[in-house]
């Protein structure tokens, strides 16, 4: 197994932990105040999306109620970004990913903040592993 593939697999394994998924989700949707009333409805691994997370918010006081809110993250895992930042955003948009999970970024060609802003304008959220780790 190549080094990059091994790291990608390690990052992918994190999504088997429900508490990690909740922290990841909160980071991606910072305007949501997620708590126990959110339910992880579906989590799957797919060639197109690496990971897909679907959360639904239910009113706990109503039995068999319809979800109040539903949100999804279609995540592509990219262990390292160097000068391929534009290619990553194009790939995410092509595959209809709305999130890229990154371990490390080399800031030679573009600064992290510029990259995150560029991706956001393209409709793609950027989540860095170290930001998740400090919130766990």
d(CA 34, CA 23): 9
**Domain assignment of residue 108, yes or no:** yes
pLDDT in tens, 25-73: 888 877 656 555 556 666 666 655 577 777 666 555 556 667 666 678 8
Domain that holds residue 80: 3-37+74-133
d(CA 94, CA 34): 29
Q: How confident is the model at residue 128 (pLDDT cuts 50, 70, 90)?
A: very high
pTM: 0.79
Q: Which of 64, 67, 66, 40 is nearest to 54 (CA)?
A: 40
Q: Tokens for 78?
A: 């990219």
**Domain assignment of residue 46, yes or no:** no
Q: Which of 8, 9, 32, 7 is nearest to 22 (CA)?
A: 32
Order of all β-strands in the sheet with 99-105: 38-44, 51-57, 69-81, 99-105, 125-128
| Contact in structure between 93 and 124 (CB atoms under 8 Å) | yes
Q: Which residue has the higher pLDDT, 86 or 2?
A: 86
| Contact in structure between 53 and 15 (CB atoms under 8 Å) | yes
**Domain assignment of residue 9, yes or no:** yes
**Domain assignment of residue 20, yes or no:** yes
Q: Which residue has the higher pLDDT, 56 or 22?
A: 22
pLDDT value at position 52?
A: 75
**Domain assignment of residue 50, yes or no:** no
**Domain assignment of residue 84, yes or no:** yes
């Amino acid at each position: 197994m190549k080094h990059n593939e091994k790291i990608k697999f390690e990052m992918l394994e994190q999504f088997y932990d429900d508490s990690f998924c909740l922290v990841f989700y909160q980071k991606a949707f910072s305007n949501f105040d997620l708590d126990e009333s959110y339910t992880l409805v579906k989590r799957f691994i797919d060639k197109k999306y690496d990971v897909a997370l679907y959360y639904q918010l239910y009113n706990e006081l109503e039995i068999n109620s319809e979800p109040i809110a539903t949100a999804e993250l279609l995540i592509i895992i990219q262990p390292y970004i160097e000068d391929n930042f534009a290619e990553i955003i194009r790939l995410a948009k092509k595959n209809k990913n709305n999130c890229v999970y990154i371990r490390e970024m080399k800031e030679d060609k573009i600064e992290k903040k510029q990259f995150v802003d560029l991706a956001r304008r393209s409709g793609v959220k950027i989540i860095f592993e170290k930001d998740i780790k400090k919130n766990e």
